[in-house]
Amino acid sequence: MAIQMLHERISETYQALPRQSRRSVWSALLPQRGRAAMRVGLSLAVAFADLVAIVGTALPIEIGYHAMAYGGPMALSELKSWRIAGLLALVIIVSEALRGHYTFESLTTRKRPLEQTATLWFAAWGALLVVSFATKTTTELSRAVTLFDFGLGLPVLLLVRARTVSVLRRYLTPASSSASRVHLVGFEEDIARFYAGNEADALGIRVVGTSYLRRVAGDAGPAARQAQLAEDLDLAVSVVRFLRPDDVFVLIPWADSTEVERCIDAFLRVPAALHLRPGTVLDRFPDMQVARVGRLSGINIGRRPLNLAEIVLKRAFDLVAASLALALLAPLFAVLAVLIRLDSPGPALFRQKRYGFNQQPFAVYKFRSMRAETNAAFKQATRNDARITRIGAFLRRTNLDELPQLLNVIKGEMSLVGPRPHALAHDRSFERRIALYARRHNVRPGITGWAQVNGLRGETLTDLDMERRVTHDLHYIDNWSIWFDIQIIVQTVFSRRAYRNAF
């Protein structure tokens, strides 16, 4: 019955094609032989490239060090670094494989953050040192060779991996036979909306089939609706069995719960992964996943900005770095305080209320850069502001006026890196006009931040100026890592962009 319906619905254009052309069409739609083996081969090729990068870095370092230290070539039987490099490669490759970083989808579409690879590199070396200590083999390899291997291995690994993945992505397009083969199911308007908002090539998929469900006339009874839906689903299931796609996407909105339930019952019977796609909400939250809290299940579209382990790590880093900075910069603090007092009357430190974590108010510390005014209303500093003192202009250009906020970091009111705290008047005003502005308060404010090192600082003349800052702040919150903090701190000191718009 379903096969008969399939032939009845095949377009007249296809039926008019010669038999040989029809075979070409079906050949393009059906999965090709050896496709699974090709995917496995691609994954193994990238893993092998990682192995070559790690071992291929260690061996030349040991050979070169031996030639420099002993003035002669090294016999292959004397090489020892291949053992450590092999164990290191085993840890990294197995870890990457378990995290799915060698899959076809990951290689063709996903960007692997550098900090994840760097973290894995350090963790693998830590495990290696523990094993070497336990087995009493730490003396077999030169310390110089080990240090060079540790320092050069990561850049070489990243370079080789980037080059390998770049070559693969150049030749393995979503239209290739290795791409994920997808079948779409839904009402005509749902599928039209999908094609209007997406391109298969950009999604990294290959759409091999589409099953349209027909809308029933409004005056039709429940029995007629069920019969027509059953007919459409029988045909769709037959097409899916014939085309053998990897994934079936049901594009029906979740509000049509009856149709969604019927689709689930129908397509769970075919050997393909089944996905529900409730509109565009999934595109807003790419990391959403099904989560369980107690016995309650739900779709988790956002976690806490930092989990407990990340909070502890960030706080420990803040305390250590801020304490060290205060100790080293104490003489500079004293000199700047004297210069400020000599330049204009008033205290050296300036305190102002700001909103911190969870919108809790606190007093932020700064070196005073303007003339002291009693009970003056808040007014944002502008370029060539007459209130700015001579030493204050220097402090603002060099960011030195922010250094006393190290005290706020020690007190736990701020972090070294985070969204910059704005004056209370600014917060109240922009929170009403800019979407998600208040999300900036989901983490501790920082002395410096991702917006600041990108030159987004100084006077905010329009809402667009603040929207750009908020976009960068939210990017920082959603992509936090300890390496990201270190990168921002380094850029704050050495990058020219971090001093842009400072006045």
Determine the pLDDT at residue 278. Answer: 63
Determine the pLDDT at residue 14. Answer: 45
Partners of residue 205 on adjacent β-strands: 180
Q: Is the pLDDT of residue 2 over 50?
A: no
Percent of the chain at pLDDT > 90 equals 9
pLDDT, tens digit, 9 for 90 and up, residues 210-245: 888 888 766 667 787 788 888 888 899 888 888 888
Query: pLDDT band at 26, cuts 50/70/90?
Result: very low
Q: Is the pLDDT of residue 12 over 60?
A: no
Three-state secondary structure readout of 199-210? CHHHHCEEEEEE
What average pLDDT does range 112-124 have in this prediction?
A: 75
Q: Spell out a b/e string for 166-193, using b for 16 or more CB atoms within 10 Å of the CB, else e.
A: eebeeebebeeebbbbbbbbbbeebbeb
Low-confidence winner among 13-17, 165-169, 196-200 (lowest mean pLDDT): 13-17
Determine the pLDDT at residue 33. Answer: 55
In residues, how long is the chain? 503
Q: What is the CB-side half-sphere exposure of residue 167 using CA atoms within 13 A?
A: 9
Query: pLDDT band at 158, cuts 50/70/90?
Result: confident
Determine the pLDDT at residue 413. Answer: 92
Compute CA 331 distance to the chain's CA centroid, rounded to the nearest angstrom: 40
Full-model pTM: 0.58
Cβ atoms < 10 Å from Cβ of 18:
8
Determine the pLDDT at residue 22. Answer: 47
Q: Is the pLDDT of residue 138 over 50?
A: yes
Higher pLDDT, 136 or 368: 368
Cβ atoms < 10 Å from Cβ of 365:
20
Low-confidence winner among 174-178, 432-436, 442-446 (lowest mean pLDDT): 174-178
Asked if residue 488 lies in contact with residue 451, where contact means CB atoms within 8 angstroms, the answer is no
What average pLDDT does range 103-119 have in this prediction?
A: 68
Higher pLDDT, 98 or 338: 338
Q: Where are the domains of the chain?
A: 2-29+177-300, 35-171, 308-499
Query: Any idea which architecture 2-29+177-300 has in CATH?
Result: 3-Layer(aba) Sandwich (3.40)
Determine the pLDDT at residue 503. Answer: 53
Average pLDDT, the chain: 78
Q: Is the pLDDT of residue 187 over 80?
A: yes
pLDDT, tens digit, 9 for 90 and up, residues 51-68: 888 888 888 887 887 778
Rg over alpha carbons for the chain, rounded to the nearest Å, is 31
CA distance 172 to 108: 7
Determine the pLDDT at residue 17. Answer: 47
Query: pLDDT band at 9, cuts 50/70/90?
Result: very low
Determine the pLDDT at residue 164. Answer: 82
Asked if residue 370 lies in contact with residue 397, where contact means CB atoms within 8 angstroms, the answer is no
Q: Is the pLDDT of residue 20 over 80?
A: no
DSSP 141: S
Query: pLDDT band at 379, cuts 50/70/90?
Result: low
Run of H or E including 247: strand 247-250
Higher pLDDT, 302 or 243: 243
- 276-279 contact pairs (CB < 8 A, 24+): 276/250, 277/194, 277/249, 277/250, 277/251, 278/253, 278/254, 279/253
What average pLDDT does range 11-19 have in this prediction?
A: 49
Q: Is the pLDDT of residue 29 over 70?
A: no
Please classify residue 11 by burial: count the beta carbons closer than 10 Å to its beta carbon, then call 0-12 exposed, 13-18 middle and 19+ buried. exposed
Residue with token string 């890592």 = 481
What average pLDDT does range 101-106 have in this prediction?
A: 73
Query: pLDDT band at 142, cuts 50/70/90?
Result: confident
What average pLDDT does range 183-206 have in this prediction?
A: 79
